[in-house]
Structure formats: structure tokens, C-alpha cells
């Protein structure tokens, strides 16, 4: 499988279905990633360890290029929700963009549930018995973080399939402010989970 990596705002058109078409793409290509499925898989121990090391890197790195990342992104997210100038009530396009970013962020945090399952699976592996308690504690943290995102629906109601209602809810400063402590709680769980991962790595 070959994936072309690149970006350009020029020479892009859109199909009726929503898919986009990029012409003359080669000049804007940064590189090509080729995935070879025929290579021998690395040992499971190496996969687990490198996954944990990468998790720490992702969680603790404050910025990637010009974008806030990891724990810092929770702080910025919470700050932005409290800045009413970021959510102009009369500009539906900007509100729709803010809604997309907010819900994407919630999805990323909610996926910590998958991280929790992965850590539990790792803790059962014979090679990591010395670190199983720390791995399980980290799993608890990420599971609690996943639960934080469910609080949003308790605040705004069951509007999963109503995009306009979601945008309207996010435009409400009182609703946004109610979600701030939940984001900060999610951040705390993420940080604590990372600390347990670090302890586990030291024992592996």
C-alpha cells in the first residue's frame, strides 16, 4: 500500500459527495510512505515498549510545530472555551468550525478507553508482570478520562445526531463553562496515567 503525503490549498476541487480532488499533486508532495507487509514483525515485547515510550512522548510534548499538543492542549482547550470572543453568536461558520474542533478533541480523549484496554492486555503478558500494577493503574486513569467526555452529553442533552443543536449548545457560554472543569479533570487523568506508564517502563 502506498500513501502520498502532502498539502496544498491550490488546485483542489470538490465532488458532490464531499470528496476532494487534487490535481498536479506531485510538486506538493513531501514524501511517500510505503508499507511493506512482507517484513517480519518485531517481537511483541518491543512493540509494547515502543508503544509506551511513544505514548509518553505524545502526552508530554507541549507543541508539534505550531500546534499545541498533549497535556498543553487540554489547558488551551479549556481556556478557549471560556473566551467568548472565540464563539461569536452571529457567525455560524466560525461556530461550526469551533464545534468541529471541540468534538474532534472529545473524540480523541474518549479514545483513551482503547488505551485502557491495551494497557490491561499488556499487563497480562508474562514479560511485564513486574510492571502489571503500574500498567493497571494507568489503565484506570485512561478509563476515567474516557468517562469525562460522557459528561458533555449530560450537560447538552441527547443531541448526538443534531449538528445544529450541537453548534447552538457550544455557542452558549454557560454551557461551555460547565465543561471546563471536566476537561481539566481529563487532563489530570492523562498526566497521572503517563506517570504510571513511566513507572512501568522503568520496571520492564
The confidence score (pLDDT) of residue 109 equals 95
The confidence score (pLDDT) of residue 204 equals 84
d(CA 87, CA 169): 11
The confidence score (pLDDT) of residue 30 equals 83
Low-confidence ranges of the chain (pLDDT < 70): 1-10
Which position has the grid cell 490491561? 120
The structure's pTM equals 0.79
Contact 53, 33 (CB under 8 A): no
Contact 136, 160 (CB under 8 A): no
* First-to-final CA distance of the chain: 34
Beta bridge partners of 4: 32
Amino acid at each position: 500500500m502506498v500513501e502520498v503525503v502532502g498539502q496544498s490549498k491550490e488546485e483542489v476541487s470538490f465532488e458532490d459527495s464531499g470528496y476532494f480532488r487534487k490535481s498536479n499533486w506531485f510538486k506538493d508532495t513531501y514524501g511517500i510512505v510505503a508499507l511493506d507487509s512482507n517484513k517480519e514483525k518485531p517481537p511483541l515485547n518491543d512493540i509494547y515498549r515502543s508503544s509506551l515510550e511513544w505514548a509518553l512522548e505524545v502526552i508530554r510534548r507541549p507543541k508539534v510545530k505550531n500546534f499545541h499538543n498533549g497535556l498543553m492542549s487540554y489547558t488551551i482547550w479549556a481556556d478557549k472555551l471560556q473566551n467568548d470572543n472565540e464563539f461569536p453568536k452571529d457567525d455560524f461558520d466560525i461556530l461550526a468550525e469551533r464545534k468541529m474542533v471541540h468534538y474532534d478533541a472529545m473524540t480523541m480523549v474518549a479514545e483513551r478507553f482503547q488505551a485502557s484496554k491495551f494497557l490491561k492486555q499488556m499487563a497480562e503478558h508474562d514479560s511485564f508482570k513486574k510492571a502489571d500494577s503500574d500498567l493497571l493503574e494507568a489503565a484506570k486513569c485512561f478509563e476515567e478520562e474516557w468517562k469525562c467526555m460522557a459528561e458533555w452529553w449530560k450537560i447538552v442533552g441527547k443531541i448526538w445526531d443534531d449538528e445544529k443543536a450541537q453548534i447552538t449548545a457550544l455557542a452558549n457560554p454557560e454551557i461551555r463553562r460547565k465543561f471546563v472543569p471536566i476537561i481539566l479533570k481529563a487532563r489530570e487523568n492523562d498526566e497521572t496515567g503517563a506517570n504510571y506508564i513511566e513507572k512501568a517502563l522503568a520496571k520492564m
